[in-house]
Amino acid sequence: MLNIETNYLGINLKSPIIVASSGLSNSIEKIKEFEKNGAGAIVLKSIFEEQILAESAHNISQDQSYGYDVHDYISATIRDTRLGDYLSHLKEAKAAVNIPIIASINCISDHEWLDFTHKIEEAGADAIELNIGLLPSNHEISSEENEQKYFSIVEKVKRNTNLPIALKMSQYSAGLANLIKKLSWTGHVDAFVLFNRYFNPDIDIEKMEITSTGVFSRAEDISDSLRWVAIMSNVIEVPIAATTGIHTGKDVVKEILAGAQCVQIASTIYEHGSQQIKVMIDEMEDWMQRKSFNFLDDFRGKMAFDSEKSTVAFERIQFMKHFGGIE
């Protein structure tokens, strides 16, 4: 009898496939469909402090005739309304399904990381995902200063909540393995989500405008998370959720072989609908049956990086002749 349950953030999930944070979870009907098709948990779309501030600034710029008091009032009202809407949706989602609902936040000010978390905990979320995007683009800021941001946010948030915390991070760091290891030692991170997918710029050379490459990931995008899950899963004790480029049941198997505790998917659901979760589970179970594995733990980490084994390939980056095979 196959059992694909897994433990994530101290919660028992009935399957290792989590619906990643995105607009997919904006509808309660869809959330119910995800549960029906076998999702282990759902991460709600992030609430972005920056977006709330931008909306306030836009509204204020529409009417300059009022004084600062009124501007403060407008900002506070917009902020409370957006946060209130998020919390209502979270409560509705919790009431609609039995699987865990994980809230996701992205803030820029210290007090909002704390206040958003506090309100989300009160509203009944099962866990919180901190969506911390880090693009080291400011040439005045050193890598250490940049990375300090992760330590400072997880420390503050963890001190102020009893919720389990997942840290969804970017792959931008010159010392990524060391950074993840040190973050795992803080005791403030209950899971890592590797890695977020961002807006990727392109240029339209006819219009000479900035455009974006596709919003959705492609199958080959899996290699970044696969590489880093494999490299880190034996090094840290904190579980890892893999995300980006996981489109099939075979991809879930690959990530678990690399050592992931579970996966988070978005693009493939956008492209194929919520039933894709079931298709992926069936494909994964079919593989488990063929290989005589009854539990995910039976094969988890079997292909994780080990300097003594063939899995050293996860550390290769150069297309050397014998490796690339292309003349």
Ligand X SMILES: Cc1cc2nc3c(=O)[nH]c(=O)nc-3n(C[C@H](O)[C@H](O)[C@H](O)COP(=O)(O)O)c2cc1C
Report the alpha-carbon distance of residue 56 to residue 70 in Å, rounded.
Answer: 12
Peptide bond just before 195 cis, omega within 30 deg = yes
Task: Name the residue nearer to ligand X (CB basis): 245 or 293.
Answer: 245
- The CB-of-59 to ligand X minimum distance in angstroms stands at 22
Task: Name the residue nearer to ligand X (CB basis): 108 or 215.
Answer: 215
- The CB-of-227 to ligand X minimum distance in angstroms stands at 15
Report, in angstroms and rounded to the nearest whole number, the Rg of the chain calculated over CA atoms: 21
Closest CA to 193 of 281, 265, 287, 88: 265
- The CB-of-70 to ligand X minimum distance in angstroms stands at 31
- The CB-of-66 to ligand X minimum distance in angstroms stands at 32
- The CB-of-56 to ligand X minimum distance in angstroms stands at 19
Task: Name the residue nearer to ligand X (CB basis): 151 or 270.
Answer: 270
Task: Name the residue nearer to ligand X (CB basis): 117 or 196.
Answer: 196
Q: How far is CA 162 from the centre of its chain?
A: 20
Closest CA to 128 of 52, 48, 189, 195: 189
Task: Name the residue nearer to ligand X (CB basis): 37 or 311.
Answer: 37
DSSP states of 49-90 as a string? HHHHHHHHHHHHHH-TTS-HHHHHHHHHHHHHHHHHHHHHHH
Report the alpha-carbon distance of residue 68 to residue 289 in Å, rounded.
Answer: 66
Task: Name the residue nearer to ligand X (CB basis): 74 or 103.
Answer: 103
CB atoms within 10 A of CB 182: 14
Task: Name the residue nearer to ligand X (CB basis): 206 or 220.
Answer: 220
Task: Name the residue nearer to ligand X (CB basis): 74 or 107.
Answer: 107
Q: Which two tokens stand for residue 119?
A: 């309100």
- Residue 79 burial (C-beta neighbours within 10 Å; 0-12, 13-18, 19+): middle
- The CB-of-45 to ligand X minimum distance in angstroms stands at 4
Report the alpha-carbon distance of residue 66 to residue 212 in Å, rounded.
Answer: 38
- Residue 270 burial (C-beta neighbours within 10 Å; 0-12, 13-18, 19+): middle
Report the alpha-carbon distance of residue 311 to residue 315 in Å, rounded.
Answer: 8
- The CB-of-293 to ligand X minimum distance in angstroms stands at 24
For residues 21 and 43, is the Cβ–Cβ distance under 8 A?
yes
- The CB-of-320 to ligand X minimum distance in angstroms stands at 29
Q: For binding to ligand X (CB under 6 A), which residues are involved?
A: 20-23, 45-46, 104, 131, 168, 196-197, 215-217, 243-246, 264-268
